[in-house]
Amino acid sequence: MKIEVSNLFFSYPGGVDALQGISLSILKGEKVAVIGQNGAGKTTLVKHFNGLLLPTQGSVRVGDLDTTKTTVAKLAARVGYVFQNPDDQLFCKNVEDEVSYGPRNLGYPAEQVAALVDDALSLTELADKNETNPYDLSATWRKMVALASVISMDTPVIIFDEPTTGQDAVNVARIANVIRELHARGKTVITITHDIDFCAENFERIIALSQGKVLLDGHAREVLGQEEILATTYVDPPQLTRLGKRLGLPVVVRNPDEFLEAYQKLPTNLGDPGE
Amino acid sequence: MAVLKLHNITYQYPLTETPVLKNINLEVQEGEFLAVIGPNGAGKSTLCYTISGFVPHFYKGELNGTVEIAGVETHESSLSQWVVNAGLVFQNPFNQISGAKYTVYEEIAFGLENTGVPREEMRERVDRAMALTGITDLSERSPYSLSGGQQQRVALTSILVMEPKILVLDEPTSQMDPIGSREVLKVIKTLSERGMTVVMVEHKMEWIASFADRVIALYEGEILLEGTPEEVLTSPELAIRGFGISRYTQVARQAGPLGLWPPDQRLPITLDEAVDGFSRSQP
């Protein structure tokens, strides 16, 4: 399901011009990160994808639907949205009810709801916590419940708003794993993130926003290599990208494996062929 | 001189079955910058609450052991008296800002109003604290109209204005974008350089390496490691137990067996250290 944004402008009541002429399209099955400083318009942009916000000018289409002519309820079957703060979205008395709520609300038959819930719980490693009250879980697991409650809706598009904020290394790896699996299933995954290392290690396409406009949009390697342009939206390249650059690597590297591969190929490291 | 002493602290929240802090012994010297690291659930926030008196005054549960600042123990004091000993900045400024005040200026003055500080002194202290954190120009704004970095500086200022002996920060930048983080960290660094005693929970290893005098690694409620940033942050224990580690440390550790990191070189935490080691490994 393609998302098509044409010449999108959005102003909040009171006159903050949050988006100023954004055009882009996101194809089915893409894995996209949206980056940029606070106030760049990231959340405002993605809230247009499920109709939570409607364009002041321009248009947003999700598949064949124009968001201005479609109810949020209808868009909810196409675009799932995981809030930054799980406490903004959790309200049921146990994890299973919470995760069932979305698919049930979309009107799926009971067996399908059960299957979707089982799948979402196992993907988020929550299967053993299905009877727990979400608020008896740690913040880490509440985050996973928030993910599961949207994954269970089986929408073709899933948006994550800052999924790694406040999460430890173990849970960041768990979230990366969920994103990888959703992508493998052909879902479109759109993630807002400030965690540039996480972004580099998990996303193929990066859209950098600045002051309501698209600053950069392309393959992660191209975008992350643009140190000076990224600096204008206060994004530092990932640690290993910076290290690679300082050591004179000829390519932009995004993770330890890419770094080591490129570093080994540096002429000075090729060593004695007789060894 | 130790300004903060935790002696045999064990603490269990109400209605829970296991203690979240177990037998913690810790001293923090005056002017020291102590960083606290640990996975989610290690007890980091609870340690912050314990130092700043929320345990036992707000969170009940079962507390054993003592927390002492400048010769007074938490249980001998009330929470409103304890604010001059330790002030806590929460992870999320949204949880700290009172919601009762329309302007930043009033928000900063709120704590002083509640402790009955005379009006003239209040003005002076509010102005001084705001200048220190660089938010003077936000004084007439609504706290809710601000960016995350600005809100966190307001939260920090509302604590500083109470002039606590120890500043406790619980992942103060985890909700911020890089520019917000930098704003907040710059202020914290300045405060530390001016002699403030700081206890800060933080995940970003590069910053810890450049800020902290000492680091403790908490794991399942206990102090697993304690030492200088160099000792603690490059310890192989961290990766094994699921702590976040610097990508520089991680890549250098992987590079070792490939002969790409000098065997006699300490693993790096910062970019400069990584550049230095990798450059040395080249023939």
> What are A121-156's pLDDT values in tens digits?
999 999 999 888 988 888 889 999 999 999 999 999
Give the strand pairing for A57-62 and A3-11: antiparallel
Name the residue ranges covered by the structural domains of chain B.
2-245, 246-283
**Residue in this structure with the two tokens 């949204």, named with its chain if needed:** B94
Contacts of B253 (CB under 8 A, 6+ apart): B236, B239, B261, B267
174-203 of B, contacting A, C-beta below 8 A: 174-180, 203
Cβ contact A256–B176 (<8 Å): no
Query: Which of A254, A269, A275 to probe the B interface (max B CBs under 10 A)?
Result: A269
Q: Which residues of B touch A268 (CB under 8 A)?
A: 282-283
**Residue in this structure with the two tokens 């005040």, named with its chain if needed:** B101
Q: Is the pTM of this model over 0.90?
A: no
- Cβ neighbours around B265 below 10 Å, total: 15
Distances (CA, A) of B235 to A14, A253, B175, B218, B247: 52, 25, 27, 13, 14
Of A37, A166, A256, the CB nearest to B250: A256
Q: CA of A136, closest CA in chain B: separation in Å? A: 10
User: What domains can be seen in chain A, in order of their start residue?
Assistant: 1-78+155-170+183-237 (3.40.50.300), 86-154 (no CATH)
Please state which of the ranges A27-41, A176-190, B212-226 shows the lowest mean pLDDT: A27-41
Please state which of the ranges A261-275, B7-21, B30-44 shows the lowest mean pLDDT: A261-275
- CATH classification (class only), B2-245: alpha beta
Please state which of the ranges B34-38, B169-173, B267-271 shows the lowest mean pLDDT: B169-173
Q: What pLDDT is recorded for position A274?
A: 40
Q: Give the DSSP letter of residue B122.
A: H
pLDDT tens digits, B48-106? 999 999 999 999 999 999 999 988 999 899 988 898 999 999 888 878 888 788 899 99
Q: Which residue from B71, B60, B51, B52 is spatially nearest to B12, judged by alpha carbons? A: B60
Give the strand pairing for A79-82 and A157-161: parallel
Give bridge partners of residue B238 from the DSSP assignment.
none
On average, the pLDDT of chain A sits at 92
ipTM of the shown complex: 0.85
DSSP string for residues in B38-68: --TTSSHHHHHHHHTTHHHHTS-SEEEEEEE
Please state which of the ranges A11-15, A253-257, B67-71, B265-269 shows the lowest mean pLDDT: A11-15
Adjacency order of strands within the sheet including B72-73: B21-29, B2-12, B62-69, B72-73
Of A167, A234, A240, the CB nearest to B177: A234
Q: What pLDDT is recorded for position A269?
A: 67
Cβ contact A38–B180 (<8 Å): yes
